[in-house]
Every structure is written in C-alpha cells, then in structure tokens.
C-alpha cells in the first residue's frame, strides 16, 4: 500500500513540473533575407512554446574564411529577436559552428 502512495506522489510531481527542451535552428552564413526571416519566425514559435533555442551558423570548407559575415548575420538575427528573447550564451565559435543560445524573457 505504501508503494502505491509513493508512486501516486511521484506521478503528481512529474505532472506539475515543466520540462524545458533545447531545440536547434541551423543555417549557413549564405542565406537569403526571406529564408532568414523564416528561421527567425521559427525561433519565435519555439520560444513562445517555452523551449530554449540553440542558434547555429555552420561554416563548410572555405566558408571559414568568411567568419566575419557569419558573426554579422548572427548579430542581425539576435537584434531582430531582442524584444522577445534573452541571450543565454553569446555567439561563440565551436569548431566549424557559430553558436548562440536564447530563451524566453
């Protein structure tokens, strides 16, 4: 009987808790304005749902020579999102990826 009560308490605690997921939105530094706007809208939807977002700009092969363009693109993206997200980690390079993490305000 005691095990049954413990199990019910455990289930009730799990139902009350919220589990925040981290989702990833990836694109390259060569992206059209419309495609970028689509990605930004995607990020907004994910954040409104309550999840965190990992924004990734990927560089392939010789694209690594144009990291400054990728940084400008990431800053542009974060500027457009600044009204509804907070930046958890600033954009930084991890190998061939430029990564920033955002979450709901």
- Structure confidence by residue, pLDDT tens digits, 46-75: 999 989 999 999 999 898 999 999 999 999
Give the pLDDT confidence score for residue 17 in this predicted structure: 63
- Residue 56: CB partners within 8 Å, gap ≥ 6? 24, 25, 26, 27, 97, 98, 99
CA distance 21 to 8: 25
Domains defined along the chain, listed by start: 19-104 (3.30.110.10)
Sequence-distant (≥ 6) Cβ neighbours of residue 13 within 8 angstroms:
none
Please give the model's pTM, rounded to 2 decimal places: 0.79
């Amino acid at each position: 009987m005691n095990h049954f009560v413990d199990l019910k308490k455990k289930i009730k605690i799990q139902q009350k808790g919220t589990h925040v997921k981290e989702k990833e939105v990836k694109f390259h530094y060569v992206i059209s304005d419309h495609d970028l706007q689509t990605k930004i809208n995607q990020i907004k939807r994910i954040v409104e749902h309550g999840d965190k977002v990992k924004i990734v700009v990927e560089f392939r092969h010789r694209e690594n020579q144009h990291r400054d363009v990728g940084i400008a693109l990431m800053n542009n993206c974060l500027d457009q999102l600044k009204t509804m997200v907070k930046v958890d980690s600033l954009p930084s390079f991890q190998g061939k990826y430029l990564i920033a993490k955002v979450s709901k305000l």
